[in-house]
Amino acid sequence: MPAIPAKVPADWSFIQIGTTGTYREKSFTITGRVRLQLRNEYKNFWSAVHDGNKSLWIMESFGSFCVLEPRWYSYTGDIKKLRATHTITVENGDTLTGDYVDKCEAISIEGQVGRWPELFPTGFFVVQGSRDTDRGFFTVHTKTKIVQYMLGKTVTPEDLKLGTIHEWNEWR
């Protein structure tokens, strides 16, 4: 039986459902998020819609961003290579070297989100990157050994031209 997603806890993200922005000259609106509470940090995966019905994902953690294709790939390579310092080749031919692996402690969902693979809190989350801005984000289902991933590019907040953000006033 699939785990029931928990209520999304508050965090310090200035992106919220309804935040707007522009990426590569395409306007988008945030419609929902998947939040992974990892053992050592968190990741927000913001689901966005552009051009009426097309989607994209924006991964955010502690002010770092990555724009991801909405396509999920199945990883069929050696699962043992999904770890720090090991290099793999992905669907598009890029080679990515492991940055880190972290255990998923909880997953929560809010709003309307794009396709997301089943990930139980007992799963793992793997980040693979290249020397430039290419990134791959992998979900590993511990029991079934099913591995799925998305590909994307690291970006800056300026690249996203964010509007209607949540403004924090705790320091005023």
pLDDT in tens, the chain (172 residues): 455 555 555 666 778 899 999 999 999 999 999 998 898 888 999 999 998 788 999 999 888 899 998 899 999 988 889 989 999 999 888 899 998 899 888 888 899 988 887 766 667 888 888 877 889 999 888 788 889 999 999 999 889 998 866 555 554 4
HEC string for 58-92: EEEECCEEEEECCCCEECCCCHHHCCECCEEECCC
Q: What is the pLDDT of residue 169?
A: 56
Could you tell me the CA-to-CA distances from 13 to 6, 45, 63, 90, 122 in Å, in that order? 18, 11, 7, 30, 25
Q: What is the pLDDT of residue 1?
A: 44
Q: What is the pLDDT of residue 127?
A: 86
Question: Which residue ranges make up each domain of the chain?
Answer: 20-160
Q: What is the pLDDT of residue 10?
A: 64
Phi, psi of 11 (to 5 degrees): -145, -170
Q: What is the pLDDT of residue 157?
A: 86
- Per the document, the length of the chain is 172
Collapsed DSSP state (helix, strand, coil) of residue 7: coil
Query: Please, what sign has the CA dihedral across residues 40, 72, 141, 116?
Result: positive
Q: What is the pLDDT of residue 145?
A: 81
Q: What is the pLDDT of residue 126?
A: 86
Could you tell me the CA-to-CA distances from 121 to 42, 62, 126 in Å, in that order? 13, 21, 14
